[in-house]
Chains A and B, each alone.
Chain A
């Protein structure tokens, strides 16, 4: 009986060690580090939690009314039906013909717009073809009759189901995309 107990404890110890070793290799946990104090940053990291701000995260919105450096024009037309009509009627592209770069415009368009609007602008993007998102109009839709201003306005604020792309595209990129959308519209109307 005594010997049996000894054997049993041996087996148990081996089993615990095995379980211990295998659980060390779990992929859901990060690995050990040699010198964590050299790995961990002293300054704040992006998205870090922090007590420094009231909402407990490091990532903060810029203070209201702050303006980025460089060429910046605030977009002052409001996100209302009147604002849409105003933009549609009056807004024009500040980029002149030498600054409009259709290669870049296409690149950005294919990433951010083509997935729904289709790379030709006919409203037949991959998500539409797979029936994930429906009702995406073609750019030559007569009822909407999009213009430079309305394209920019909708990229900036979004409309109906479409969301705002103001945080994925900066001002200059939005105008590049606008110019490219106009090009697609002209091609569709041919």
Chain B
């Protein structure tokens, strides 16, 4: 007699095996694409216009394959056609292709004929992969940053307590010793009548004279120093309407100064970049990296993401397009020469080939921009006296260089020898 529990055992095992096989095989087919490879392909080809979870130039692409199957009944074949040549698909009159094309302002998607079936499978696997858990930087950073902070505080506190105890001990020891001395009848305090020191000082007329002269000279020195710095804004560091970090842009990301201040090449002014130049990058960069954000909050007390939002408000960007509602950003001017002095950026940047840092200091390290140089006349003249003019390969200078080098008997001419000290060059 068979035990009841083993009835239909073979069929059960078979069906169980079938189910296991099915689950394994489906999961196998879903993971057919290589997520890591898909990510690099996605970043190289798609990320210019698509993000996973946010619309950009084109729609968000997270789970795009599944959504197309479920919502539109479109298969892999359609996706392949679209990716390899979307405009042909639109022209063929495909309903959904035309719908999505019109929905996204008729921006034509680039054709990617070079992507193989496997490549597209990898990319779709990446878009279907669950987003990586948000990196919990907060806790980690807190732990890392605070640990030395706490121990430093502890050490300092312990030291303070130690010194207090020492001082107390000394006072106690002194008191006890005094008491012993009193007990043994020794005079501890020997007092003498002396003239107070200030009376002695007044009585010595020579000392009074010397001190008076010293004080006069010292105050003269300080008064002179004070008057000489009037009108000099070295170190001027105003709070700007948008916290713009030159450290991140010019330092970490090594963006050339002339990328934003392009008019320094061709004009008297090194212009404040218009906001469309910010948007060249910030169309794609709406948020800073998590570590950068933490660094900003910890070290500089700045919420970089909120500052980028200020840019978006000013330029009228709603995340996918311009609204047309713009507001001027009232930047505060830092470097300002008086009206009676003429200065031309292009002459120094393009002709002389000076580095911006020569006058503006280590801008790539400045979290907040400040005036590095005094911008005084003496400072200008000094540089003109010391700097040799680059005459090589500059046809404009050929003749004058010949004549002047003969006159001065030198091969290298300074800006001063070229006439860089003439009053009318800067004051007219």
Contacts and interface: CB of A to CB of B under 8 A. Distances in A.
A105 interface: no
Max count, chain A CB within 10 A of own CB: residue among B277, B280, B336: B280
Contacts of B232: 31
Interface string B249-284: 000111110110010001001011010110111011
B48 A137 contact: yes
Contacts of A137: 44-45, 48, 110
17 contacts: A34-B230, A39-B340, A47-B272, A47-B333, A81-B106, A112-B259, A127-B253, A127-B255, A134-B47, A134-B284, A143-B111, A143-B114, A160-B107, A161-B49, A165-B280, A167-B277, A169-B262
B307 interface: no
Contacts of B381: none
Interface in B90-135: 106-108, 110-114
A18 B29 CA distance: 77
A120 B163 CA distance: 64
A163 B276 contact: yes
Contacts of B230: 31-34
Interface in B302-350: 328, 331, 333, 336, 338-340
Kindly state the interface size class of chain B when it binds its partner.
Answer: 35 or more
A39 B48 contact: no
B253 A38 contact: no
Contacts of B47: 134-135
A110 B280 contact: no
A133 interface: yes
B365 interface: no
Contacts of A134: 43-44, 47-48, 284
Interface of A: 27-34, 38-42, 46-47, 55-57, 81, 84, 110-112, 115, 123, 126-127, 130-137, 141-144, 158, 160-165, 167-170
B152 to A, nearest CB: 27
Contacts of B281: 127, 132-133
A126 B253 contact: yes
Contacts of B331: 47
Max count, chain B CB within 10 A of own CB: residue among A38, A47, A161: A161
Given A34-B230, A38-B338, A133 B285 contact: yes
A182 to B, nearest CB: 19
B45 A111 contact: no
A81 B108 contact: yes
B233 A161 contact: no
Nearest to B333: A47
B294 interface: no
A176 B258 CA distance: 17
A126 to B, nearest CB: 5
A27 B262 contact: no
A29 B371 CA distance: 12
Interface in B13-35: none
A38 B339 contact: yes
B48 A135 contact: yes
Interface of A is mostly: loop
Contacts of A84: 108
A174 to B, nearest CB: 13
A134 B284 CA distance: 8
Given A133-B281, A162-B280, A163-B277, 14 more contacts: A30-B233, A30-B236, A38-B340, A39-B231, A39-B338, A46-B271, A110-B256, A111-B259, A123-B44, A134-B48, A142-B113, A143-B114, A163-B280, A168-B259
Contacts of B239: 28
A40 B111 CA distance: 57
A81 B338 CA distance: 50
* In the complex, the 8 A-B pairs of residues with the closest C-beta atoms, listed nearest first: A135-B48, A134-B47, A135-B47, A163-B280, A39-B338, A41-B339, A168-B262, A143-B111
B46 interface: yes
A167 B274 contact: yes
B48 A136 contact: yes
Nearest to B58: A160
Contacts of A31: 229-233, 236
A141 B49 CA distance: 16
Interface string B230-248: 1111011111000000000
B241 to A, nearest CB: 13
Contacts of A38: 338-340
A141 B115 CA distance: 11
Contacts of A160: 48-49, 57, 107
Nearest to B268: A46
Contacts of A130: 252-253
B418 interface: no
B56 interface: yes
B283 A167 contact: no
Nearest to B234: A31
B277 to A, nearest CB: 7
Contacts of A161: 48-49, 56-57, 283-284
Contacts of B106: 81
Contacts of B272: 47
A28 B238 contact: yes
B344 to A, nearest CB: 13
